[in-house]
């Protein structure tokens, strides 16, 4: 007679192996924080209003945009050759705006010397005298009409926390949490950190995709954008793979305002005479900068290594940190920080204990893009966790770390 073998559900597996659950969640987190850079660029509301009040022939010279995250449906159009500056009235666009004057293509200087469709012109003319909408794409490439294709959719305290000499599952959890943070960092650097946020040039007949408050979308050439169109639009998008494309001029400087995520890793050193220990440390931070120079972040700083006798130690700092960047010199930004919170420590000399911790130090950021910077951090922290045998209360430690900041 065959015995019934109970089937182990994934629920019980996750209960017995919390590391499995964290690994699954980590894979999801890295996917959610990653993504692709879209072919769509959003024109901010204030910029759209400004463009609508300019003479039509001047609107494409310098436009502020922010690249969207999403799927890329095609390669960006080569804009090294400007379209023909000839306008012919037709059913696609209608008559030119009042005051529109043909000027012909102009030369502008952005990153290097490039030819951009600075002022004017209309769609090139087809055989029947009608405007022939669509990009002047790469040689042999398909011709797309403006608007062709579809628009892409845009811890609680526990007595076993980090316990030395055993720790088993807890140590596994800590390692997996750090791995998850690394995966999330890579995803954000590859998307949010490098997406384009700056100025572009475009042909004045480049199609804009306007969305109104009632959800309706319509296509309007930049030259025919009216102040009423700009006032009614809740979003305006231009595509780099349709019409005549766009030419990037350069990114805006580093802008911290808004949500921020930071992660760094480096060396830990206990400078207290009560414990000689060295190891590795990391800082994982999430917070908000209400202004470019000042921000508040929640901080988790795990550390671990060996003492002078070769015995392992573990440390976890949980704190609230304030950062201030008063000095900017080109791409370099010098800042200071201070933090306060609680630290959990476990080592061979004093066992498991916890206490208040306060510290601060210096920050140096090297701006890479508008939203991404390399960080260099030097931290000094004093915590009320000195081993009882040492006859003191407070123990000092330093960390020196390198990482990235995504704003």
pLDDT tens across 210-227, in order? 999 888 899 999 999 999
Residue 110 has pLDDT above 70, yes or no: no
Return the percentage of the chain with pLDDT > 70, whole number.
69
Residue 47 has pLDDT above 90, yes or no: yes
pLDDT at 36: 79
Contact 354, 157 (CB under 8 A): yes
pLDDT at 288: 98
pLDDT at 198: 94
pLDDT at 235: 95
Collapse the DSSP code of 24 into the 3-class scheme (helix H, G, I; strand E, B; otherwise coil) and give the result: helix
Residue 340 has pLDDT above 50, yes or no: yes
Residue 102 has pLDDT above 50, yes or no: no
pLDDT at 109: 36
Q: What's this model's pTM, rounded to 2 decimal places?
A: 0.66
Query: pLDDT tens-digit profile of 112-152?
Result: 333 334 444 444 333 333 333 443 333 333 334 444 444 44
Residue 407 has pLDDT above 90, yes or no: yes
Sequence-ordered alpha helix ranges (H) in 122-277: 168-190, 227-232
pLDDT at 21: 47
Q: Decide if domain 254-406 falls under CATH 3.40.630.30.
A: no
pLDDT at 371: 92
Domain ranges of the chain: 11-94+101-139+162-252, 254-406
Residue 338 has pLDDT above 90, yes or no: yes
Contact 121, 60 (CB under 8 A): no
Return the percentage of the chain with pLDDT > 90, whole number.
46
pLDDT at 35: 56
In the chain, the N- to C-terminal Cα span, in Å, equals 65
- Residue 299 and residue 283: Cα distance in Å, rounded? 7
Query: Higher pLDDT residue, 241 or 155?
Result: 241
Query: pLDDT tens-digit profile of 270-288?
Result: 887 777 789 999 999 999 9
pLDDT at 81: 64
CA distances from 53 to 57, 228, 230 (A): 11, 10, 9
Collapse the DSSP code of 80 into the 3-class scheme (helix H, G, I; strand E, B; otherwise coil) and give the result: coil
Local structure of residue 13 (DSSP, 8 states): H
pLDDT at 9: 41
Query: pLDDT tens-digit profile of 151-198?
Result: 444 433 333 434 444 444 556 677 777 888 888 888 888 888 888 999
Query: pLDDT tens-digit profile of 349-363?
Result: 778 899 999 999 999
| Secondary structure percentages of the chain, helix, strand, coil, to 5 | 15, 40, 40
Strands 294-307, 312-329: parallel, antiparallel or unpaired by DSSP? antiparallel
pLDDT at 306: 85
């Amino acid at each position: 007679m065959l015995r019934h073998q109970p089937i182990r559900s994934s629920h019980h597996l996750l209960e017995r192996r919390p590391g499995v659950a964290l690994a699954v969640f980590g894979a999801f987190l890295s996917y959610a924080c990653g993504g692709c850079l879209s072919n769509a660029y959003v024109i901010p509301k204030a910029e759209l209003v400004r463009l609508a009040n300019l003479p039509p022939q001047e609107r494409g010279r310098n436009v502020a945009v922010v690249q969207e995250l999403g799927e890329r449906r095609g390669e960006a159009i080569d804009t090294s050759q400007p379209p023909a500056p000839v306008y012919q009235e037709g059913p696609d666009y209608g008559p030119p705006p009042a005051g529109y004057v043909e000027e012909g293509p102009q030369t502008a200087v952005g990153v290097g010397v490039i030819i951009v469709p600075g002022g004017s012109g209309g769609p090139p003319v087809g055989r029947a005298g009608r405007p022939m909408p669509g990009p002047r794409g790469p040689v042999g490439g398909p011709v797309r009409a403006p608007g062709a294709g579809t628009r892409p959719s845009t811890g609680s305290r526990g007595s076993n926390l980090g316990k030395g000499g055993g720790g088993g599952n807890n140590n596994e959890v800590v390692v997996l949490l750090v791995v998850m943070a690394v995966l999330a960092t890579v995803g954000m650097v590859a998307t949010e950190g490098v997406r384009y946020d700056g100025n572009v040039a475009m042909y004045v007949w480049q199609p804009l995709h306007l969305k109104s408050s009632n959800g309706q979308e319509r296509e309007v050439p930049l030259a025919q954008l009216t102040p009423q169109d700009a006032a009614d639009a809740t979003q305006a998008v231009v595509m780099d793979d349709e019409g005549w494309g766009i030419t990037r001029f350069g990114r805006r400087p580093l802008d911290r305002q808004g949500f921020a995520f930071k992660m760094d890793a480096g060396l830990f050193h206990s400078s207290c005479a009560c414990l000689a220990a060295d190891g590795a440390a990391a800082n994982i931070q999430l917070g908000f900068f209400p202004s470019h120079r000042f921000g508040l972040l929640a901080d988790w700083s795990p550390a671990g290594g060996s003492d002078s006798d070769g015995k392992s130690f573990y440390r976890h700092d949980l704190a609230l940190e304030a950062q201030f960047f008063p000095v900017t010199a080109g791409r370099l930004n010098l800042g200071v920080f201070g933090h306060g919170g609680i630290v959990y420590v476990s080592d061979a000399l004093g066992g498991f204990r916890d206490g208040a911790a306060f510290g601060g130090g210096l920050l140096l950021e090297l701006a890479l893009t508008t939203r991404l910077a390399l960080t260099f951090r030097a931290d000094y922290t004093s915590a009320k966790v000195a081993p009882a045998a040492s006859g003191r209360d407070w123990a000092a430690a330093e960390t020196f770390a390198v990482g990235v900041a995504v704003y």
